[in-house]
């Protein structure tokens, strides 16, 4: 299946986000891929169908599924391959055989993430869902974050509540905290970020085509590290584009999350 | 052979104010809602509620029953947060012990194994340890010397879970795909209660599902109550899915004091049979509205 150059010219922002999310799973072997949000869900499936074929996906309920079903697929259309109730999910988390993209209401310079509360935790301005599994996830296996609305409200100097543990906190907790800790990437609607600097602070890894560095700086509440030449987020291959558009997300749910 | 059958009122009679009560299920799934509604109608107060939280926690907060909530999250699944829990936290109306959901599991496990704590990596480096200064770390006595979280046992005075089928002796059968942590809640508790969609003879379990579904042994229960549709409006698959329309109406009503008063009057100030018939009326009204082309329940339905 091929995509004509005309179509390639029209690659949308949500499609770059999906490709960037897929890259999180590159090089992963036979581990459980968990992904929250639309672009991460497409990305994990895309990685499974292309460069990381041994990944195992979940049905979002209590099972592992065969293959990479389209997002929003009817439950009775899935082929289940193993029982994975929550109690066993913890077995997988603590074994380290998992790679995860979580959402973040706030994220900061050293990779701390917050989904618990805005303001003072003891009496918050806004109570969110709670710390959930973020503390345990981040010290047990690789974790990345997806922020579909990059702004100074989401990219903050210090998060209000440290749920997902960043590099500085993991190091301060000693060898037990840092041994299995890795914040791999942060993907937003504007670009991709990582912590590949000597002092493990957030760096611009790539910008989605059409986004300027100034735009990112203006939308970020702290100083970002960057190299002299910031690359663009890579293009999807024609095969990948075809998979996103016709196999994995034919109803274009991705366009409801990030403006195309 | 002991007959463990109880009525809802008898179950409530086994509880007292100030207790620490564990509630089974997960989020807005397989919650013992009929028992929660019975607690709402009772004069019980000052409770510490330990839960993978859903509308159970929200409703208990709304009724002023909660002194302290122990949780990793409180969510309605299809709606990210519970409005009453949110309000209780933002108004400072309750104490909170918020822990990683894996730490929560380990805490129940420690209680069920009668040890004071269990070590875990989960929690290290996070604000969970800052906001819960009573949770200590422990240094491995072996060569690795790792410093881990010593998650304290979450011992419960009572636990209540809801299952698809049960017998009079207190064996429980879970027919849905996830048993959640119900067994461990019961194991962690001094008084152990189970509500069920349907009481059946022990010899009927095997026609309902394979041996793995008979997951709650009678070693873990003291009382069992038959409460048909008793997890409503949370999901209790395969018997029924979450009642999304009703859950939306619950959230909408919570946003306005007058609407909430009407919701309480219609659904919560009545005994369980009254609740169930009001829910049937709600479903009929909602179905009619859908036919009329309106997908969302109107405010009138709540009243």
pLDDT digits (tens, 9 = 90+) for A120-179: 999 999 999 999 999 999 999 999 999 999 999 999 999 999 999 999 999 999 999 999
Give me the mean pLDDT over the A28-50 stretch.
98
Please indicate whether, in this complex, the C-beta atoms of B121 and A140 are within 8 angstroms of each other: yes
DSSP A40-65: HHHHHHHHHHTT-TT-EEE-SSSEEE
DSSP reduced 3-state for A178: helix
Give chain B positions within 8 Å (CB) of A136: 100-103, 120-123
DSSP state of A66: S
pLDDT in tens, A16-30: 999 999 999 999 999
pLDDT of residue A146: 98
Please indicate whether, in this complex, the C-beta atoms of B181 and A129 are within 8 angstroms of each other: no
Contact A112, A172 (CB under 8 A): no
Return the structure tokens found at A256: 């409801």
Q: Report the gap between the CA of A130 and the closest CA in chain B (Å).
A: 4
Find, among B177, B239, B149, the residue nearest to A89 by Cα.
B177
DSSP B273-298: HHHHHHHHHHHHHHHHHHHTT--S--
Q: What is the pLDDT confidence band of residue A9, given thresholds at 50, 70 and 90?
A: low
pLDDT in tens, A219-240: 999 999 999 999 999 999 999 9
Q: What is the pLDDT confidence band of residue A190, given thresholds at 50, 70 and 90?
A: very high
> Is pLDDT above 50 for A6?
no
| Longest CA–CA separation in chain A, Å | 56
pLDDT of residue B297: 44
CA–CA dist A34, A103 (Å, integer):
11
Q: Report the gap between the CA of B277 and the closest CA in chain A (Å).
A: 31
| Bridge partner residues of A34 (DSSP) | A100
Contact B166, B196 (CB under 8 A): yes
Q: Report CA torsion sign: B110, B111, B115, B116.
A: positive
Q: Report CA torsion sign: A133, A134, A140, A141.
A: positive
Find, among B20, B159, B129, B232, the residue nearest to A177 by Cα.
B129
pLDDT in tens, A192-201: 999 999 999 9
| pTM greater than 0.90 (yes/no) | yes
Give chain A positions within 8 Å (CB) of B142: none
Count of other CB atoms within 10 angstroms of residue B280: 11
Q: What is the mean pLDDT of chain A?
A: 96
The CA-based angle B153-B54-A186, given to 5 degrees, is 85
Please indicate whether, in this complex, the C-beta atoms of B127 and A175 are within 8 angstroms of each other: no
Residue of B124, B140, B178, B187 to mutate, interface with A, max A Cβ within 10 Å: B124
Q: Where are the domains of chain B?
A: 1-239, 244-302
Please indicate whether, in this complex, the C-beta atoms of B121 and A93 are within 8 angstroms of each other: no
Query: Nearest Cβ partner of B124 from A90, A129, A173?
Result: A173
CA–CA dist B31, A31 (Å, integer):
32
E strands in chain A: 32-35, 56-58, 63-65, 80-83, 98-103, 106-107, 113-114, 117-118, 126-127, 143-147, 183-188, 191-194, 203-207
Query: Nearest Cβ partner of A85 from B81, B90, B179?
Result: B179
Q: Which residue of B has its CA nearest to A128?
A: B81
B101 near A CB under 8 A: yes
DSSP reduced 3-state for A157: coil
Please indicate whether, in this complex, the C-beta atoms of A117 and B89 are within 8 angstroms of each other: yes
Contact B66, B49 (CB under 8 A): yes
Q: Report residues of chain B scoring pLDDT below 50.
A: 296-303
B26 near A CB under 8 A: yes
| Bridge partner residues of B98 (DSSP) | B71
Residue of B69, B125, B242 to mutate, interface with A, max A Cβ within 10 Å: B125
pLDDT of residue B295: 52
Q: Report the gap between the CA of B73 and the closest CA in chain A (Å).
A: 4
Give chain B positions within 8 Å (CB) of A108: none
Q: Is B27 exposed, middle or buried (0-12, 13-18, 19+ CB in 10 A)?
A: buried
Q: Which CATH architecture has domain A5-257?
A: 3-Layer(aba) Sandwich (3.40)
Q: Where are the domains of chain A?
A: 5-257
Helical spans, DSSP H, in B14-79 = 33-41, 55-62
| Bridge partner residues of B149 (DSSP) | B120, B137
Contact B198, B164 (CB under 8 A): yes
Count of other CB atoms within 10 angstroms of residue A74: 8
pLDDT of residue B302: 34
Q: Which residue of B has its CA nearest to A175?
A: B146
The CATH H-level superfamily of B1-239 is Glutaconate Coenzyme A-transferase (3.40.1080.10)
pLDDT of residue A2: 46
pLDDT of residue A224: 98
pLDDT of residue B298: 41
Please indicate whether, in this complex, the C-beta atoms of B81 and A169 are within 8 angstroms of each other: no
Question: How far out from the chain centre does Cα B213 lie?
Answer: 20
Q: Which residue of A has its CA nearest to B140?
A: A176
Give chain B positions within 8 Å (CB) of A169: 125-126
Give me the mean pLDDT over the A62-90 stretch.
95
Q: Report the gap between the CA of B13 and the closest CA in chain A (Å).
A: 32
Query: Nearest Cβ partner of B146 from A136, A164, A175?
Result: A175
Please indicate whether, in this complex, the C-beta atoms of B100 and A133 are within 8 angstroms of each other: yes
CA–CA dist B161, B150 (Å, integer):
27
Please indicate whether, in this complex, the C-beta atoms of B89 and A124 are within 8 angstroms of each other: yes
Return the structure tokens found at A259: 């403006």
Integer CA distances (angstroms), B234 to A59, A62, A118, B229, B241, in order: 20, 17, 28, 10, 7
Q: Which of residues 111-130 of B touch A (CB under 8 A)?
A: 120-128, 130
Residue of A83, A115, A131 to mutate, interface with B, max B Cβ within 10 Å: A131
Q: Which residue of B has its CA nearest to A160?
A: B127
Question: How many residues would you count in chain B?
Answer: 303
Give chain B positions within 8 Å (CB) of A176: 121, 124, 146-148
Return the structure tokens found at B44: 């019980």
């Amino acid at each position: 299946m091929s995509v004509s150059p005309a179509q390639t010219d029209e690659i949308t922002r949500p499609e770059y986000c999906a490709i960037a999310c897929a890259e999180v799973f590159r090089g992963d072997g036979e581990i459980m891929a968990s992904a929250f949000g639309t672009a991460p869900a497409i990305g994990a499936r895309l990685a499974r169908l292309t460069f990381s074929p041994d990944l195992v996906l979940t049905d979002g309920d209590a099972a592992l599924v065969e293959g990479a079903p389209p997002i929003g697929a009817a439950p009775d259309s899935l082929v289940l391959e193993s029982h994975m109730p929550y109690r066993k999910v913890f077995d997988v988390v603590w074994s380290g055989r998992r790679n995860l993209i979580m959402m973040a209401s706030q994220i900061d310079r050293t990779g701390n993430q917050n989904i618990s509360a805005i303001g003072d935790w003891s009496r918050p301005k806004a109570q969110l869902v709670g710390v959930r599994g973020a503390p345990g996830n981040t010290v047990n296996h690789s974790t990345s974050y997806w922020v579909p609305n990059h702004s100074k409200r989401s990219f903050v100097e210090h998060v209000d509540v440290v749920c997902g543990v960043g590099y500085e906190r993991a190091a301060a907790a000693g060898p037990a905290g840092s041994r299995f800790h890795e914040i791999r990437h942060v993907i937003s609607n504007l670009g991709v970020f990582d912590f590949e600097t000597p002092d493990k602070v957030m760096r611009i890894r790539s910008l989605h085509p059409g986004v300027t560095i100034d735009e990112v700086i203006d939308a970020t509440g702290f100083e970002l590290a960057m190299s002299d030449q910031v690359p663009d987020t890579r293009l999807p291959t024609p095969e990948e584009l075809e998979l996103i558009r016709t196999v994995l997300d034919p109803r274009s749910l991705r366009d409801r999350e990030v403006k195309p | 052979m002991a007959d463990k059958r109880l009525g809802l009122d008898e179950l409530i009679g086994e509880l007292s104010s100030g207790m620490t009560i564990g509630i089974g299920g997960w989020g807005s799934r397989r919650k013992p809602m009929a028992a929660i509604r019975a607690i709402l109608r009772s004069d019980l107060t000052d409770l510490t509620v330990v839960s993978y939280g859903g509308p159970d926690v929200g409703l208990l907060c709304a009724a002023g029953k909660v002194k302290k909530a122990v949780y990793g999250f409180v969510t309605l699944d299809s709606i990210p947060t519970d409005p009453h829990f949110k309000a209780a936290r933002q108004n400072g109306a309750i104490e909170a012990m918020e822990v990683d959901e894996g730490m929560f599991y380990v805490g129940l496990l420690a209680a069920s194994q009668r040890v004071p704590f269990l070590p875990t990596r989960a929690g290290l480096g996070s604000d969970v340890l800052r906001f819960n200064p009573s949770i200590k770390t422990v240094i491995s006595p072996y060569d690795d010397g790792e410093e881990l979280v010593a998650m304290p046992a979450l011992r419960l005075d009572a636990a209540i879970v809801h299952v698809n089928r049960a017998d009079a002796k207190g064996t429980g059968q879970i027919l849905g795909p996830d048993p959640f942590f119900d067994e461990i809640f019961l194991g962690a508790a001094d008084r152990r209660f189970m509500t069920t969609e349907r009481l059946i003879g022990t010899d009927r379990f095997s026609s309902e599902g394979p041996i793995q579904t008979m997951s709650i042994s009678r070693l873990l229960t003291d009382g069992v109550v038959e409460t048909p549709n008793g997890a409503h409006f949370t999901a209790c698959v395969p018997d029924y899915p979450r009642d999304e329309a009703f859950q939306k109406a619950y959230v909408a009503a919570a946003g306005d004091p007058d609407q909430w008063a009407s919701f309480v009057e219609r659904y919560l100030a009545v005994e369980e049979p009254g609740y169930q018939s009001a829910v049937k009326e709600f479903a009929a009204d909602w179905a009619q509205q859908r036919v009329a082309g309106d997908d969302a329940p109107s405010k009138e339905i709540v009243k």
